[in-house]
Structure 1
Amino acid sequence: MSPDHPPGLDLDRLHGLLDAERPGLVTGPLTGRLIEGGRSNLTYAVSDGTARWVVRRPPLGHVLATAHDMRREHRVISALHPTAVPVPRPILLCEDESVLGAPFYVMDFVEGTPYRTAEQLAALGPGRTREAVLALVDTLVELHAADPAGLGLAGFGRPEGFLDRQLRRWGKQLDASRSRELPGVDELHAALGRMLPASPQPTVVHGDYRLDNVLLGDDDRINAVLDWEMSTLGDPLTDVGLLAMYSVPLALPDSPVSTTASAPGHPDVTELLERYAARSGRDLSAVSWYTAFAWFKLAVILEGIHYRYTLGRTVGAGFDRIGDLVPVFIEHGLTTLEEG
């Protein structure tokens, strides 16, 4: 396919659907391109020459059950759009797989930059980097302060037993992608189960909250929080643990998955946790468990991507080195639990 017709995106069928469901929205022929950087769902920028939109769909080929839920992502951004949490305006959800071969949804294109590496973030300078990362914390506080019932999300998840279900779910995700030995992964999973903390009051959780999944504007404000497919009602400290995990410098040169934590000016984990605790009023005494769980969860996600790569079912560059990262994440998880 040409660059304007990337795999997984049938522009003629998409155009027909938009004309039928949102008459007048599209005013010319559509072009599309894959937005690089994602390692899970596929994201495309689509334009009619005047306006731009974004299309989100699951990856081609192997799909783990519940890991690529378009309905869930569309529902939560629709609920959050009127609130202080910045999200793109949703356009439509399509669950008819005859259009693109999988469920997908369309939303407005939002201007902004996702900072995926320390090198990219360093270009802002220490002061702007610090403010951007602190804004990430403050936006998470806003999300966790949102009233699920008031947003029509009272039935969005089952908070009771949330952490136990999460552990079992990610254990099953791991089993679905097992194709090699991974020393320590079962030990980490079992230890997390033995040390399960009591959850605070449930909130809307993002499920994959990090700088990589927000768009920063030229003023360093967060223009949009993206990638909501793992969102639900549950324990807000799972988001906090993930943010803490991504704030640990990995020191892995040439890694296809990296954090921005080594950028000059990036606040350290302690400062980020203290800011969240002060602004949210939540007790973070068990945060090491949540951080270790984040290491485990990311190890499972990366192993799933590695499995798809071995089957030749990935789109984009960098997948050949994903598998090497999984043992690193497992080791970090074990160490975090031991030190906590």
Structure 2
Amino acid sequence: MADALAPVRDAHRFDEAGLLRWMEANVADFGGPLSVEQFSGGQSNPTYRLRTPARDYVLRRKPPGILLKGAHAVDREFRVISALHGTGFPVPRPYGLCLDDAVIGTAFYVMELVEGRTFWNTAFPEVAREERPACFDAMNATIARLHSIDPASIGLGDFGRPGNYFERQVGRWSRQYLEDEDAGRVPAMDALIEWLPANIPPGEETSIVHGDFRCDNMLFHPTEPRVVAVLDWELSTLGHPLADFAYHLMVYRMPPGFSTGLAGLDLPALNIPSEDDYVAAYCRRTGRDGIERLDFHLAFSLFRLAAIIHGIKGRLIRGTASSSQAAAAVEQLDRIAALALTQTRTGG
């Protein structure tokens, strides 16, 4: 995991001796001593590197403090990683889940530390120009593979409710936005809450969806342009694969410096596939003729991202935001909500 490491932040400290005892009792072949550092990423769930003489691990936990209902579902993360690991899909090996808050203060799970590269910028500036198409193709192949796995065949048939995915998701994120009064209201979000339910496309599909499939939630091989681990499964569920893909695709509509946007960049000069080519590759891999109503899917995806950032804003105000980058993310809230509203007027 090639994310920045630092000493554990004061708000996220826990009883390391309690963790050591739990790991000695629950993780096969574990041996101390144990030292703990915190990753800079992990906006929602604090994430730590656990160092031991034999091997290193990663711990993901619920943040301390007052939490919104249904958020920070580390037990769901652990379940989906466990199921997917058995298929050979690129996820870390899971080691153990602890739902007893008495151990370190909140629920957590421990998984393998996968060595690899994290890319925070979707333009892949650190990668040689000739390798960038392969990086994009690796992401495309990985999300298409995820959407092609039959949930029931790996024990995830009840991982989410089938049907009415967009209706339920718009309702969920609308409620979460409206209930977090600390973070305030955003006019574009209010407009989207009206537009989205009235414009849901017909048709139902169900697959495993990651929910936050971005380049910075993947680890790439240390030297090769391939994905070795997909991380941060907190938002995973059973849902519409096009919602998941559009969320991944929306960087093509975001300007540079606006999250990790590609809009306005000279993609041929950078040797990055066009949005049309990227969509075509996904459709080819998943047996589609194309994606109708891409405007809705992108508006929904950007609305959902804005709702997530709105939640981060609330946690920042309450002092429970888990990432040192939380304030920078919150600064983009109004712009992302406005961009989401713009998609509703494209007619695409």
- TM-score (norm: length of structure 1): 0.92
Q: How does 1:44-193 map to 2 (within 5 A)?
A: 44-118=48-122, 121-178=124-181, 179-193=183-197
Preserved CA contact (<8 Å) 1:132 1:220:
yes
Correspondence for 2:337: 330
In the alignment, the residues of structure 2 paired with residue 165 and residue 101 of structure 1 have an alpha-carbon distance, to the nearest angstrom, of 32
- Name the SS of the counterpart of 1:87 in structure 2: coil
Amino acid at match of 1:76: V
Preserved CA contact (<8 Å) 2:121 2:215:
no
- Name the SS of the counterpart of 1:285 in structure 2: coil
Residue 4 of structure 1, CA deviation: 6.4
Which deviates the most, 139-148 or 33-42?
33-42
Residue 216 of structure 1, CA deviation: 0.3
- Of 14, 17, 21, which aligns to 1:12? 17
The unaligned stretches of length 5 or more in structure 1 are none
In the alignment, the residues of structure 2 paired with residue 46 and residue 260 of structure 1 have an alpha-carbon distance, to the nearest angstrom, of 35
Which deviates the most, 264-273 or 63-72?
264-273
Residue 155 of structure 1, CA deviation: 1.0
In the alignment, the residues of structure 2 paired with residue 129 and residue 62 of structure 1 have an alpha-carbon distance, to the nearest angstrom, of 42
Render the CA deviation track for 1:158-208: whole Å, top value 9, x for unaligned.
112211110100001101223323112111121111001124431111111
Amino acid at match of 1:172: R
Render the CA deviation track for 1:281-320: whole Å, top value 9, x for unaligned.
1341122211111110111111111111122222443333
Render the CA deviation track for 1:126-180: whole Å, top value 9, x for unaligned.
2222211111011111111111111011111111221111010000110122332
Residue 38 of structure 1, CA deviation: 2.4
Residue 35 of structure 1, CA deviation: 0.9
Render the CA deviation track for 1:207-253: whole Å, top value 9, x for unaligned.
1111111100121210001111111111111111101112334233x
- Of 254, 259, 265, which aligns to 2:271? 265
- Name the SS of the counterpart of 2:219 in structure 1: strand
Are positions 1:289 and 2:296 aligned together? Answer: yes
Amino acid at match of 2:281: R
In the alignment, the residues of structure 2 paired with residue 92 and residue 125 of structure 1 have an alpha-carbon distance, to the nearest angstrom, of 38
Cα distance, 1:249–1:210 mapped onto 2, change above 3 Å: same
In the alignment, the residues of structure 1 paired with residue 9 and residue 344 of structure 2 have an alpha-carbon distance, to the nearest angstrom, of 46
- Of 38, 41, 64, which aligns to 1:37? 41
Preserved CA contact (<8 Å) 1:303 1:326:
yes
Cα distance, 1:334–1:71 mapped onto 2, change above 3 Å: same
Render the CA deviation track for 1:101-132: whole Å, top value 9, x for unaligned.
1111111110111211257x212122222211
The unaligned stretches of length 5 or more in structure 2 are 1-5
Render the CA deviation track for 1:241-280: whole Å, top value 9, x for unaligned.
101112334233xx6x434775833323222111101110
Q: How does 1:203-218 map to 2 (within 5 A)?
A: 203-217=207-221, 218=223
- TM-score (norm: length of structure 2): 0.90
In the alignment, the residues of structure 1 paired with residue 19 and residue 78 of structure 2 have an alpha-carbon distance, to the nearest angstrom, of 17
Cα distance, 1:40–1:8 mapped onto 2, change above 3 Å: same
Correspondence for 2:255: 250
When the two chains are superposed, the root-mean-square deviation of aligned CA atoms in Å is: 2.0
Cα distance, 1:118–1:77 mapped onto 2, change above 3 Å: closer
In the alignment, the residues of structure 1 paired with residue 13 and residue 251 of structure 2 have an alpha-carbon distance, to the nearest angstrom, of 30
- Of 234, 240, 246, which aligns to 1:235? 240
